Structure 1
Amino acid sequence: MSLRKIVYQFLSWINYYYFPTSLAPESKDVYLERYKVNFTPEEIEFLKKSAATFNYATDYADVYWQKALYTVKLSQVTLLGNSGALVKQEKVISDSTFDQVRLCLSPAYRSPAFMRKRRKTGLYTSIFHLPWAQTSNYHWFYDCLPRLYPLLQQVKDPIQLIVNKDIPAFQLQTLQFVIKDYPHFSITFQSKNEKWELEHYIFPGFTTNHISGYLPAEVAHFLRNKIWQGYQVQALPAKNRIYISRSKARKRRVINEAELIKALIPYNFQVIYAEDLTYAQQVQIFYQAAIVVAPHGAGLTNLLFSEQCSVMELHPVNIIKPHYFLAAKALNFNYDYVLGSNADNNLDFEVRVEQVLAVVSKKLN
């Protein structure tokens, strides 16, 4: 046995995967071709401001391509329970970690771990993505669940959908809502300390781009309808005006929030603390939302469940993230933003209340 093979076997034994590979050479079953998203001059201005705060590491102002929706049929691959990443021939498939940026941060890559090996026959797939979607609603609804869409359209044979054994209740529940009408899809659970060697596997590509909540219209509407139905959302008129507070969070809080809320109350705004609500309650509230005002944060994920609303997002001037602008763009929602002070070490910042009220007045008129 060559020294190279001995080294590879040892690294495999401690689950240390040093080299990446990709699915570029593989044949893809494309459901929806990639397409270019066009922006208005005002939207381009926002994207330029956003890119500047990230030193142009991600810049969508010049061009934004929506990824193709596709699946890839694979055989003899290993699924790592600590991440959802795939390994083939002792190399991590970078496509299964979202992109090169997350590959370098993934516990699947160059990070030893104790993992029990299990061999599984039959046909499998998965959409979990750790640690990003461990408890996050944003990464679940934008990075994970949309991957089901091409699978549900293309796969007709019985298939087992692998999820993490510690999946949060809201994730499992919404997953069940989405696959309810597809009886050939069944759920099976994998522990974080297991790696499964799979006979046959269908890989669903990620739908979203980096720091983006943009979903193709047919994907967004499919997921919205499934989750509305699952939670038995009441089709009430969109009249709610809501402010999403982050005062109970550890970061990205509005420092002068008390002053802001006092100013919004006369405009009939309701203050929402998402962490105090069930997910069914959150979906119902957003379904009825006419105007949503919020600092950047996971609470805005639920824009996906608004029937039709107008959005105002509050950003620190030095960290302008485009996730929810792009989510609103995809849903054809009106989007405005207000830039506050520079963020402090906790990413907390102040806003000018009169500036927020000016935008609120514009939305009401």
Structure 2
Amino acid sequence: MLTKAFFGLLHTLGYYSRYTSVLHHPGRITLAESFVLHFDDSETAFLEQSAVSFNYAIDYSLGYRQKAQYVVRLRGVEFLGNSGAAVLDGKVVVESVGEVSRLAKSEAFKEVSLLLPKQKKGIYTSVLHLPWAGQNNYHWFFDCLPRLYLVLENIKEPIKIIMRRDMAAYQLETLAFVAKAYPQAEVVYIGKHEKWQVEEFVLPSFVANAQSGYLPPDIGAWLRDKLWRGYGVQRGKHKKRIFISRANARTRRVLNEQALLPLLDRYGFEVVRAEELTYQQQVQLFYDAEAVIAPHGAGLTNLLFSEQCQVLELHPANLIKTHYFLLCKGLCFRYSAVVGTEGDKLENYTVDAQEVDKWLTSIAE
């Protein structure tokens, strides 16, 4: 009894130290089975290079399995406004936050913060995923929005999508674009210091794997179409070639970027700083892009909006990430990588201009 009261006090203060899984819950409905992606020799070589840089912590060269897609219908769920986690019987549901490793890394479930309970009737769902997607467009477009496909395409009853009003403007507007075509769905807003006890909660599985922007073809096509329509993209008269600069960023900068600029200019590339554009402008720009060069960073998330594109991604030798290689794999874009020197403590590095020139020559032929 004392233990129960103790945990009850911790939960009132927003602190959760235990977790549970609903992977085998009787309310689980499988919507699509898992499947395996296959890679050619050059793709496998790049994935092996990435695995080495991570000391094989993630090794997709051994195979890439797209997870099964499902929803789980749960009763008696508490939904936490400070984190986006679902709680069942006093334990955080792992599948509501991604995976156990994210539970371990995130303070969102362990901060002392008074959460005021509110009773809510009806059916609810959410793809709120904090702190990961707080201001990060990669996590928003790959960890959050794709999960709504599973709910909106399969749950026809009236359902409320829980969101926070203080999220980034592009997140609120893209959520509205996605929900617009589904009259059964309504967006409702939870406060940071609220805990909703909902009558029924539909929990969608995460779609993207760790360090992967790969989306199954049906989900990728659905998301691209909703955002193209929402932002009113129109085909421009001329295709563009763009270089995404991180010169103003603190991390992951290409230290010899200035030396690359004359080379890029010779091949018709314009320098873009994504942070200087509205999100509609970013979507339109990438829609029109036929070729993109960029150091690894969240700006490459916008490849999702390209109609058809060739991509050259720049990496430091000690941290070769696979997110956008796998995004391009799903979109059938031609992807290449140039691996530079080892990054410093801020992941800044230099690249070989001759290797960049070689790629530029290949796309000009």
Whether TM-score is above 0.5 comes out as yes
* 8 A contact 1:245–1:271 mirrored in 2: yes
The residue aligned with 2:132 is 132
The whole-number CA distance in structure 2 between the counterparts of 1:170 and 1:12 is 32
1:20 maps to 2:22: no
For residue 5 of structure 1, what is the aligned residue in structure 2? 4
- Which residue matches 2:241? 241
CA distance in 1, matches of 2:55, 2:114: 38
- Residue of structure 2 equivalent to 1:60: 60
Amino acid in the other structure paired with 2:68: A
**Contact 1:70–1:204, Cα closer than 8 Å, also in 2:** yes
Per the alignment, residue 104 of structure 2 pairs with 104
Question: Equivalent residue of 2:321, what SS?
Answer: coil
Distance (whole Å) between structure 1 residues aligned to residue 103 and residue 324 of structure 2: 24
Q: What residue is the counterpart of 2:307 in the other structure?
A: 307
The answer to whether the 8 Å contact 1:92/1:108 transfers is no
Between 250-259 and 237-246, report the one with greater CA deviation: 237-246
Q: Do residues 36 (structure 1) and 36 (structure 2) align?
A: yes
**Deviating 4+ runs (over 3 angstroms):** 107-111
Listed one character per residue, the Cα deviations across residues 102-146 of structure 1 (whole Å, up to 9, x for unaligned) are 111233434332222111111110001001100111110011000
Residue in 2 that maps onto 1:280: 280
Give the structure-1-normalised TM-score: 0.97
Cα separation, 2, equivalents of 1:306 and 1:115 = 42
Segment drifting more, 236-245 vs 56-65? 236-245
- Once structures 1 and 2 are overlaid, which stretch shifts more, 101-110 or 133-142? 101-110
Output aligned runs, 1:209-228, within 5 Å: 209-228=209-228
Looking at structure 2, the residues matched to 110 and 358 of structure 1 have their Cα atoms a distance apart, in angstroms, of 50
Q: SS at 2:60's partner residue?
A: coil
CA root-mean-square deviation: 1.2
Residues 236 and 288 of structure 1 are in contact (CA less than 8 Å); yes or no, is this contact kept in structure 2? yes
Maintained 8 Å contact 1:80/1:108? no
**Aligned partner letter, 2:81:** G
Inter-CA distance 306–51: structure 2 relative to 1 (3 Å threshold): same
Q: 1:239 is aligned with what amino acid?
A: K
Q: Which stretches in structure 2 are left out of the alignment for 5+ residues?
A: none
C-alpha contact (below 8 Å) 1:238/1:289 kept by paired residues? no
The residue that corresponds to 2:122 in the other structure is: 122
2:271 match: secondary structure: strand
How much has 1:165 moved relative to structure 2?
2.1
Report the identity percentage. 46
1: CA distance between counterparts of 2:215 and 2:323? 11
Asked if 2 retains the 8 angstrom alpha-carbon contact of 1:238 and 1:290, the reply is no
- Tell me which amino acid in the other structure corresponds to 1:297: G
Shift of 1:237: 6.0
Residue pair 1:83, 1:106 contacting (<8 A) in 2 also: no
Q: 1:144 to 1:237 in 2, by over 3 A?
A: farther
Where does 1:139-154 land on structure 2 (aligned, <5 Å)? 139-154=139-154
Q: For 2:144 and 2:237, how far apart are their aligned partners in 1?
A: 30
- Is contact 1:238-1:309 (8 Å) kept? no
Partner of 1:338: 338
Q: Secondary structure at the match of 1:300?
A: helix
